[in-house]
Structure 1
Amino acid sequence: MQITREPALKYTLEPSNHPYLSGAWTPVHEEVTVDQLEVIEGEVPTDIDGIYLRNTENPVHQPLGRHHPFDGDAMVHQVDIRDGKVAYRNRFIRTHCFIEEQIAGQSLWGGLMDPPGTGKRPGFGAHGGLKDTGSTDIVVHAGVAYATFYQCGEAWMLDPVTLENLGKAPWGPIDGISAHPKVDEATGEMMFFNYSVHAPYMHYGVVDRAGRLAHYVPIPLPGPRLPHDMAITKNWSILNDMPLFWDEEALKRDIHAARLHEGLPSRFALIPRHGQPEDIRWFEAEPTYVLHWTNAYEARNEDGEDEVVLEGYHQSCPMPEPLQEHGRYAHMMAYVDEHSFQCRLHRWRFNLSTSETSEERLSDRIVEFGMINPDYAMRRNRYTWSTTSKPGWFLFNGYCRHDSETGEEQLYQLPEGVYASESPVVPKQGATKEDQAYLVTFLIDENKGTSEFAILDAGDIAKGPICRLALPHKISSGVHSTWVAREMLGS
């Protein structure tokens, strides 16, 4: 195992007992390249070929105020699997804000929980006062990796193979893009949305296979909203307007305080992929909030009527009570705890003939951050692989595979003190069935103070990792990840 270390960066972050600056969330500040990881257990399958990218919240400088886990600088961790061998590298994303703070040698922006005026520089995004970190999601489109920020920042480009920073996307609109653009591998298009505090409050766009902004239209809303994710089918893009959003009176005082607006339904905007505002079909549903969708597809019901089916994680308690056992962190801990807002796998059906919505609960288990076999995107999938979480914490402690045909669930629980990352589903080369696939993940072992890369058999997750490899350092926890097959990289 040969390790190449990049030149050290400036950092001023001090050791802390903050729950999201310590333990599995302890930042790592070195950037390395490892030519071949050492296998700890099992064998690396030879029918897997591609790259796993994981975005993490990894703060470099001491916060100006209170710290929220979503304030961290973006660090991308990558494994490259080919011919049964695994290489590793990690790099910070050099956003404008990251570079400016490196020059200054300190934090220049406040965080999500800080009052207006905390920062030393004007902020970015829908929130208006935040640092654009690019630390939320990462997707690959047209051979480029895009790192995104949950409150509508720039789309920051990287080479997915070398992790070389390529700057911000030249097509990025003035209001930025939100965290979760969606890529249609068949057409080569990437769909995105953004939101803001000024009318029309949302826009929707399409980037073509050449990386050019091909379509960009307003999605008029009644006021500022807080959507997080979107979904796509072959013909439709699905956006949402849910009753959890900023308090309008507080917003007039530049205070971004989210609350649940009683009496308002959840609303879904179905727009043809290249449609105009007048083409939008609006559907209403029961009030909730949804962070993440797992899939959407077009279908025909028993009466022969066309439907759009959407699946994701319905929250029963979008505004949870503070977790008092966490003391001064009580509110923050509740708002990132899946057990507090009670998210469960759910299905919505939008009837295009009657304009009616029907809903059904798919599971009573608290799960989130789900993945499907990407070969089944935009068509009916049978299986969803979700993460389970440690109650009271934003830490993944296992997996649940849900079978939507039988309702059966298969579980794997990690050992106490070991935590997973969001884990893409990787189809086995030559697969003929949906669950002939792997889960790929990073593991953080707090018992040993180490991290690993692990592979699980998606068809039998209950037996745990079939292969584990040692990373050169313990990494920090974070949010989203992606898998890109070799043929999509052009290498």
Structure 2
Amino acid sequence: MTVAEMKVAQKVAEMKVERLPPVRVSLSPTNHPYMTGPWTPLHEEVNAWDLPVLEGAIPTDLDGVYLRNTENPVHDPLGRYHPFDGDGMICQIEFKGGEASYRNRFVRTRCFEAEQEAGEGLWGGLMDGPGTSKRPGFGAHGALKDSASTDIVVHNGEALATFYQCGEAYRLDPLTLETLGVATWAPLDGVSAHPKVDEATGELLFFNYSKSAPYMHYGVVDASGKRTVYQAVPTPGPRLPHDMAFSSKYAILNDLPVFWDQELMARNIHAVRLHKGVPSRFAIVPRHGGEPRWFEAEPTYVLHWLNAYEDGDEVVLDGYFQENPTPRPLESAPDGHGHLMAYLDEHSFLPKLHRWRFNLKTGQTTEKHLDDRILEFGMFNQKYAGRPYRYAYSTTTRPGWFLFNGFVKHDLETGESWSITLPDGVYASEAPFAPRVGAADEDDGYLVTFLIDETKGRSECAIIDAKRFEVVCRLALPHKLSSGTHSVWAGREMLKG
């Protein structure tokens, strides 16, 4: 150990940490690629204060919380484990007055509490066949555990954790991370991951999908937490949309040609297929309810959209177009995991930053790539959500893995871009944009992310100056985190409800 590493270790040892009583864990040793290395589950819950600064200084004009959702399996899987099956855990760091504190908590869903009581897993996962689960399940799939482990947003002063294939939507205190129960406005068919918060109006827009007609719905919750819109957006059959977008006047939903094989689904087998010859379809829905208008586009699948806005007669939509949405099994994967790892590997399904333009006057769609690099998990300044914007921040990934190894900033007006590449063995989390207090420019702020350093066996928080696009601060965390999915930044004003 070098002198510098010894100093870091000493700083971590001196950190003020309160460890909470342990949860009940029955997870056996494993060599599963998504339960080891950067995906090794974290089971302890802590509060930590006075986080040691390893590099730079904490910006005094950074005020709010960074929340990241994470999959952390607690019990042995009943079948074949998929990382999206893990138990939801929120890791949070709060910044105020040039200081930082950290805490993490499991989301106490009904399923988490039931498995804690049983001391074992009760539900199968995304890759399991019928009959694996010991109890009836949740979501569009119908037999899964609602772990609230996919997404996290902040609305009406509360955090909202949601599940990949539609769950109950769990409320948390964004400062203490106490689970507050299920959202009272959540409909019977649940809430998909990726509800959207419009900071300009305070509204939350959401969608869900199911295996029962009309298969997809759209809803709006106002700034006080009251559901004001809930309407069908019918599709020809069960679909698998993962995300939505909105402009100032419209919500944009999708019906993409990657969904369950209908013949196999009749036997309760959920196998995803690319249905050749079927176009992508986009529903442009009036924000506050009304008849959807459908547009066709090139076939693809899109996990995540960036932003949308109106430009004259057109609605502009930016997202990540997959050139190979159903890839062949990854030959370099450990035995038995080729299919799983290919579907998690961006270098297999090839997402590219892409722009669609839907002309409301002519009914035509035009589209093009904005960058030919493999990019995904984009972020931007949420004060520009639904409105024309200039800057976007995407992630790059390690080939063969669902692991972020860098970031790319785009100037969408000039076409310029800038990159940050992390050292080998260091992996990032999704990094939302945090506006600087008193910011005047769109890119005047920071990106906040958690880092997992496999070479040193520890985790950090990194703060990136979004304008200069360079790391300006690194903070030690009290334990090594597991990699995860989505995150959100909530400025102090968003925490007041």
Corresponding residue number in structure 2 for 1:472: 478
Give me the whole-angstrom Cα distance separating, in 2, the residues matched to 1:275 and 1:355: 20
Show structure 1 runs of 5+ residues with no match.
Answer: 301-305
Counterpart selection for 1:385 from 383, 393, 407: 393
State how 1:54-203 maps to structure 2 within 5 Å: 54-203=68-217
1:451 matches 2:459: yes
Specify the SS of the correspondent of 2:317.
strand
1:482 matches 2:496: no
Corresponding residue number in structure 1 for 2:358: 350
Counterpart selection for 1:328 from 320, 331, 336: 336
Structure 1 position 382, deviation (Å): 1.3
Counterpart selection for 2:273 from 259, 263, 266: 259
Corresponding residue number in structure 2 for 1:282: 294
1:372 matches 2:383: no
Give me the whole-angstrom Cα distance separating, in 2, the residues matched to 1:218 and 1:416: 47
Q: 4+ residue runs of structure 1 moved beyond 4 angstroms?
A: none
1:20 matches 2:34: yes
Give me the whole-angstrom Cα distance separating, in 2, the residues matched to 1:179 and 1:375: 21
Q: Is contact 2:281–2:297 with CA below 8 Å preserved after alignment? A: yes
Question: Partner amino acid for 2:489?
Answer: W
Structure 1 position 165, deviation (Å): 0.7
1:362 matches 2:362: no
Structure 1 position 42, deviation (Å): 0.8
Structure 1 position 330, deviation (Å): 0.2
1:296 matches 2:308: yes
1:307 matches 2:311: no
Give me the whole-angstrom Cα distance separating, in 2, the residues matched to 1:419 and 1:284: 37
Question: Partner amino acid for 2:90?
Answer: V
Question: Partner amino acid for 1:325?
Answer: S
Q: Is contact 2:162–2:194 with CA below 8 Å preserved after alignment? A: yes
Q: Is contact 2:200–2:383 with CA below 8 Å preserved after alignment? A: no
Corresponding residue number in structure 2 for 1:303: none
Corresponding residue number in structure 2 for 1:46: 60
Structure 1 position 233, deviation (Å): 0.9
Paired residues, number: 482
Structure 1 position 15, deviation (Å): 2.3
The C-alpha deviation readout for 1:206-247, integer Å capped at 9, x for no partner, is 111111211111111100000000001111000000000001
Give me the whole-angstrom Cα distance separating, in 2, the residues matched to 1:451 and 1:24: 10
Worse-superposed segment, 402-411 or 87-96: 402-411
Structure 1 position 30, deviation (Å): 0.5
Question: Partner amino acid for 1:92?
Answer: F
Give me the whole-angstrom Cα distance separating, in 2, the residues matched to 1:318 and 1:95: 31
Give me the whole-angstrom Cα distance separating, in 2, the residues matched to 1:217 and 1:144: 24
Give me the whole-angstrom Cα distance separating, in 2, the residues matched to 1:473 and 1:220: 46
Give me the whole-angstrom Cα distance separating, in 2, the residues matched to 1:296 and 1:267: 16
1:433 matches 2:445: no
Counterpart selection for 1:36 from 23, 28, 50: 50
Question: Partner amino acid for 2:62?
Answer: I
Counterpart selection for 2:406 from 398, 402, 406: 398
Give me the whole-angstrom Cα distance separating, in 2, the residues matched to 1:472 and 1:351: 51
State how 1:407-418 maps to structure 2 within 5 Å: 407-418=415-426
Q: Aligned-pair RMSD on alpha carbons?
A: 0.9
Show structure 2 runs of 5+ residues with no match.
Answer: 1-14
Q: Is contact 2:428–2:450 with CA below 8 Å preserved after alignment? A: yes
Structure 1 position 202, deviation (Å): 0.5
Specify the SS of the correspondent of 1:103.
helix
Specify the SS of the correspondent of 1:480.
strand
Give me the whole-angstrom Cα distance separating, in 1, the residues matched to 2:50 and 2:29: 31
Structure 1 position 14, deviation (Å): 1.8
Instruction: Give me the TM-score of the superposition, normalised by structure 1.
Output: 0.97
Corresponding residue number in structure 2 for 1:220: 234
Instruction: Give me the TM-score of the superposition, normalised by structure 2.
Output: 0.96
Q: Is contact 2:199–2:382 with CA below 8 Å preserved after alignment? A: no
Give me the whole-angstrom Cα distance separating, in 2, the residues matched to 1:212 and 1:380: 28
Worse-superposed segment, 13-22 or 89-98: 13-22
Structure 1 position 405, deviation (Å): 1.7
Aligned-pair identity in percent equals 64
Specify the SS of the correspondent of 1:324.
coil
Corresponding residue number in structure 1 for 2:5: none
Specify the SS of the correspondent of 1:90.
strand
Give me the whole-angstrom Cα distance separating, in 1, the residues matched to 2:400 and 2:468: 28
